[in-house]
Amino acid sequence: MPYDLDLLDETAWRDLVDRFGYRMWAVARAFGLNSTDAADAVQAAWLRLVESAHTIRDPERVGAWLVTTTRHEAARILRGRAGDAPTGLPDEIPAPDGDPVAVMLTEEHGRRLWAAVDTLPMPCRSLLRLIVAAPEAGYAQLARRLDMPIGSIGPTRIRCLKRLRSLMEDER
């Protein structure tokens, strides 16, 4: 059933919050944002939904759009925190459908990812576990916990995530 946002009733709105709130939160935290900033990123997506006023035809697509928009806003907040000059202008609002990868953010997909993580060599296994368990841990903290040089955390993180992704692609 198509929803017109102006007519969307509160029950349907709460249903969107229940179905997609956790995925939005997880995406914001995956950027390493603290809880205040992550909460801002999630709230941004809901506010953008209110102001974009497009017709909602399919709740799954709206869900993907909310997740994608959370990701955009989280990236923007992170850039601001990193001291990049803010332009004062918000990013473009994502296209109505969101990006297709956002749809894959399910518990089932996560479980298959964990199974793949368990097959990765060290230090990837430990590094990814720590990053997930302690989203706000900086590279210095990760380096201490894993007894690795701080300069190698970033490149190792990228390499481990690439390996994980290619394992998942092989599985398909």
Partner 1 sequence: MNDEEYLLAALRIASGADPVPARVSVEARAVYGLRLPGAVTAGPVELPTDGGAWPLSGVRSAIRSDGCSAEGEPRLLRFAADGLTIDVEITVCDSHLDLAGQMHPAPAKGARVEIRTPHVSKIRFPSETGEFATTGLPHGWLSVVCHRPGDPPVATRWHRIRR
The least distance separating partner 1 from the CB of residue 15, rounded to whole angstroms, comes to 11
- The reply on whether position 150 binds partner 1 by CB under 8 A is no
- The reply on whether position 107 binds partner 1 by CB under 8 A is yes
Among 62, 77, 142, 153, binds partner 1 (CB under 8 A): 77
The least distance separating partner 1 from the CB of residue 4, rounded to whole angstroms, comes to 10
Among 3, 19, 21, 79, binds partner 1 (CB under 8 A): 21
Binding residues among 111-140 for partner 1 as defined by CB under 8 A: 111, 113-114, 117, 128, 131-133, 135
Q: Which amino acid belongs to residue 103?
A: V
94: exposed, middle or buried (Cβ count in 10 Å: 0-12, 13-18, 19+)? buried
For residue 1, give both structure tokens.
């059933």
For residue 9, give both structure tokens.
């009733």
Q: Is 158 helix (H, G, I), strand (E, B) or coil?
A: helix
The least distance separating partner 1 from the CB of residue 48, rounded to whole angstroms, comes to 7
The least distance separating partner 1 from the CB of residue 76, rounded to whole angstroms, comes to 9
**23, 63 contact by CB (below 8 A):** yes
Among 102, 124, 142, 153, binds partner 1 (CB under 8 A): 102
Neighbours of 24 (CB within 10 A): 28
Contact positions vs partner 1 (CB under 8 A):
5-6, 10, 13-14, 17, 21-23, 25-27, 29-31, 35, 38-40, 42-44, 46-53, 71, 74, 77, 88-90, 99, 101-102, 104-107, 109-111, 113-114, 117, 128, 131-133, 135, 158, 161, 164-165
